[in-house]
Structure 1
């Protein structure tokens, strides 16, 4: 059976106090309202995944 994938992805600094994600790239700084984006999925069956990128120390 075919299916459609509806997703959104942010990569930036998460601020849970105001539910915002701040992204910075060569075009500038962009602030997104995470709570508003999550509301579009309210009442739907979803998968939530959170990933953090951490540096790995090389062997000396």
Structure 2
């Protein structure tokens, strides 16, 4: 059976106080309303993944 994959991806600073994600790239800074984006998926079966990149210290 064919299926459609509908997804959205952000990479930036999460502020749960105001439910916003702020992204910065070569074009400047953009802020997105995370709650508004999540409302699109309200009532649907979804999966959520959160990833954080942390530096690894090299061996001395």
Q: Taking structure 2 as the reference length, what is the TM-score of the superposition?
A: 0.97
Runs of 5+ consecutive residues of structure 1 not aligned to the other structure: none
Q: Over the residues paired in the alignment, what is the CA RMSD in angstroms?
A: 0.4
Structure 1 CA distance for aligned equivalents of residues 4 and 54 of structure 2: 32
2:30 corresponds to which residue?
30
**Where has structure 1 moved over 2 Å in runs of 4 or more?**
none
How many equivalent residue pairs? 60
Structure 2: tracts of 5 or more residues without a match: none
How far the C-alpha of 1:59 sits from its partner, in A, is: 1.0
TM-score w.r.t. length of structure 1: 0.97
